[in-house]
Amino acid sequence: MLLLMRCAFFIFTLALTASQGPIVIRSLAHSDPEIKEMRAEVAENLRVIADGKRPEIKWRRYKLRKKETFFKVMARTMLNHDTISSVNRLSSLWDLSAGDEWLLPNVRGIAVYGEKSAIAKKFAKREHDLLAIPGKDNLYFITGIHFDESEKEYFNLKAFIHPLAGKLRITSAFGHRKDPFTDKQRFHKGIDIGCAIGTKVLASAEGTVVFAGTKRGYGKAVIIEHRNGYQTLYGHLSKIQTKTGDKVKQGQKIALSGMTGRSTGPHLHFEVRRRGQPERPNFHLAKL
Q: Which SS3 state, helix, strand or coil, does residue 155 take?
A: helix
Q: Is 179 found in the same domain as 78? A: no
Looking at residue 144, what is its pLDDT? Answer: 87
Q: Is 90 found in the same domain as 187? A: no
* CATH number of the CATH domain containing 213: 2.70.70.10
Looking at residue 174, what is its pLDDT? Answer: 85
- Model pLDDT for residues 241-285, shown as the tens digit of each residue: 999 999 999 999 999 999 999 888 999 999 998 778 788 787 753
Q: Which SS3 state, helix, strand or coil, does residue 115 take?
A: coil
Q: Please tell me the total count of domains within the chain.
A: 2
Locate all alpha helices (DSSP H) within the chain, ordered by sequence: 2-20, 33-50, 70-77, 81-87, 116-122, 149-155
Residues in the chain: 288
- Model pLDDT for residues 110-146, shown as the tens digit of each residue: 998 889 999 999 889 999 999 999 988 889 999 988 8
165 found inside a domain = no
Tell me the pLDDT band of 13, cut-offs 50, 70 and 90. Answer: very low
- Model pLDDT for residues 217-233, shown as the tens digit of each residue: 999 999 999 987 789 99
Q: Is 112 found in the same domain as 68? A: yes
Task: Give the distance from CA 253 to its chain's centroid.
Answer: 27
Q: Is 218 found in the same domain as 249? A: yes
99 found inside a domain = yes
Q: Angle, nearest 10°, between helix axes 70-77 and 33-50?
A: 70
Q: Which domain holds residue 119?
A: 20-147
Looking at residue 228, what is its pLDDT? Answer: 76
Task: Give the distance from CA 206 to its chain's centroid.
Answer: 20
Give the chain's mean pLDDT.
86
Q: Is 186 found in the same domain as 282? A: yes
Q: Is 187 found in the same domain as 127? A: no
- Model pLDDT for residues 40-82, shown as the tens digit of each residue: 999 999 999 999 898 999 999 999 999 999 999 999 999 998 9
13 found inside a domain = no
